[in-house]
């Protein structure tokens, strides 16, 4: 019986160790899932309403706020006419809270998870800009003068390809690891926490923290709705955003 040369063994071992290290680099967190209340259970849109007051509903002259429907246990959103979007938001207002949603959007429409939103769509936004040059889990001041605008990666042409975007909160995974963390065409978990005012906002993708940011000034009221967005502009009447299993935990001071 002959044995492989030592050099071959050393190379093979190095590759195996390298692969093991690479697969260990995704910094999943053990997060507390207790104390959450389901605010969308897939059976009705009770407790939610559509606003036509945002700037994304201009194509309809603010007579509609996009197309929102209940299908297969999910909230399905799209533009109702070319260029016309809007938001669907909770009737209840929240202050300090953590929210979890599952998302399975088409790659193309611009969306968002709004924190403390009003009827005009002014809010802190968990970015769901799920398109080329867009971003997930960044923090944006929607209707707040574009401040803050925090992101640590950008999508490229393909959903499986991202590039690093410089930010003090560093990208927690490498572009090479991204396709293993994010599964397009499947349900992925988005999570956000907002506390205080000026707020501290934390975001996660599939239990990996992607952003933590404390604003520098008070820009917005202490409470507001949780909202989901379909962006205006272009023609996204045949592409869809999909959200389900929306849960919220209020954080008591």
**How high is the pLDDT of residue 3?**
46
**How high is the pLDDT of residue 143?**
96
Contact at 8 Å (CB) between 67 and 77?
Answer: yes
CATH, residue 71:
2.60.120.560
**How high is the pLDDT of residue 253?**
77
pTM, rounded to two decimals: 0.90
Q: Is 10 a member of any domain?
A: no
Structure tokens at 49: 């309403």
**How high is the pLDDT of residue 25?**
86
Q: Is 98 a member of any domain?
A: yes
Q: Is 26 a member of any domain?
A: no
The candidate with the shortest Cα–Cα distance to 222, out of 99, 125, 93, is 93
Q: Is 13 a member of any domain?
A: no
**How high is the pLDDT of residue 5?**
54
Q: Is 19 a member of any domain?
A: no
Q: Is 159 a member of any domain?
A: yes
Q: Is 3 a member of any domain?
A: no
As for how many domains the chain has, the answer is 1
**How high is the pLDDT of residue 24?**
54
Q: Is 158 a member of any domain?
A: yes
- The ranges of the chain with pLDDT < 70 are 1-24
* Distance in angstroms (rounded) separating the CA atoms of residues 135 and 227: 18
* Distance in angstroms (rounded) separating the CA atoms of residues 77 and 66: 7
* Distance in angstroms (rounded) separating the CA atoms of residues 43 and 72: 9
**How high is the pLDDT of residue 47?**
97
- For the chain, list the strands marked E by DSSP: 37-40, 48-51, 67-71, 74-78, 86-90, 97-103, 110-117, 123-129, 136-142, 149-150, 153-155, 162-164, 188-195, 200-205, 208-214, 225-230, 241-250
Q: Would you call the peptide bond into 198 cis, given omega within 30 degrees of 0 as the criterion?
A: yes
**How high is the pLDDT of residue 22?**
46
Q: In which domain, by residue range, is 140 found?
A: 35-250
């Amino acid at each position: 019986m002959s044995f492989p040369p030592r050099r071959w063994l050393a190379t093979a071992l190095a590759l195996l160790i390298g692969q093991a290290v690479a697969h260990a680099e995704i910094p999943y967190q053990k997060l507390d899932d207790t104390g959450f209340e389901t605010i969308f259970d897939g059976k009705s849109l009770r407790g939610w309403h559509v606003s036509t007051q945002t700037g994304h509903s201009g194509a309809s002259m603010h007579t509609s706020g996009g197309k929102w429907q209940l299908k297969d246990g999910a909230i399905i959103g799209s533009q109702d006419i070319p260029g016309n979007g809007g938001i669907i938001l909770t009737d209840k207002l929240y202050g300090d809270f953590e929210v979890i949603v599952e998302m399975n959007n088409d790659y193309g429409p611009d969306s968002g998870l709004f924190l403390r939103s009003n009827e005009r769509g002014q809010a802190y936004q968990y970015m769901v800009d799920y398109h080329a040059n867009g971003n997930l889990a960044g923090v944006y001041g929607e209707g707040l003068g574009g401040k803050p605008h925090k992101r640590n990666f950008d999508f490229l042409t393909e959903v499986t390809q991202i590039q690093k975007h410089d930010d003090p909160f560093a990208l927690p995974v490498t572009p090479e690891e991204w396709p293993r963390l994010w599964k397009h065409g499947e349900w992925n978990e988005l999570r956000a926490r907002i506390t205080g005012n000026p707020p501290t906002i934390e975001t996660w993708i599939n239990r990996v923290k992607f952003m933590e940011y404390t604003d520098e000034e008070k820009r917005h009221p202490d409470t507001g709705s949780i909202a989901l967005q379909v962006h205006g502009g272009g023609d996204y009447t045949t592409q869809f955003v999909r959200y389900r299993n929306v849960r919220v935990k209020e954080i008591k001071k």
